[in-house]
Amino acid sequence: KQEVTQIPAALSVPEGENLVLNCSFTDSAIYNLQWFRQDPGKGLTSLLLIQSSQREQTSGRLNASLDKSSGRSTLYIAASQPGDSATYLCAVRQTGANNLFFGTGTRLTVIP
């Protein structure tokens, strides 16, 4: 069964710093990988979607990479802002499956 792990569980950085969130998964037979952010008491907002054939995706200050063979993905956030404070979740979709397997999340706090 696919297991998704995110490290660190929590991260606190000063405003303006660049940071990297890590996600690892045990089964490399994935269809795609998605990064989400979740604000307290809210639903999930999709940040980036990487198909299994892609190596990275960029959106604004966010860059996500995917190394399927090693079972890893990273989310890079440049020039962090207090508004980036949230929990970040990665999730993988198995090939042939409908649902997502979620990581446990990284709670990010950006200090002004």
* 88 closest CA partner among 47, 31, 30: 47
Angstrom distances, CA of residue 41 to CA of 19, 35, 86, 88, 95? 24, 18, 11, 14, 31
Count residues binding other proteins (CB under 8 A): 22
Residue placing its CB nearer to other proteins in the complex, 99 or 112: 99
Pick out residues in 56-95 that bind other proteins (CB under 8 A). Answer: 89, 91, 93
CB within 8 Å of 98: residues ≥ 6 apart: none
**At its nearest, how many Å lie between other proteins and the CB of residue 100?**
6
Binding of residue 34 to other proteins (CB under 8 A):
yes
Give the binding site for other proteins (CB under 8 A): 31-32, 34, 36, 41-46, 49, 51, 89, 91, 93, 98-100, 102-105
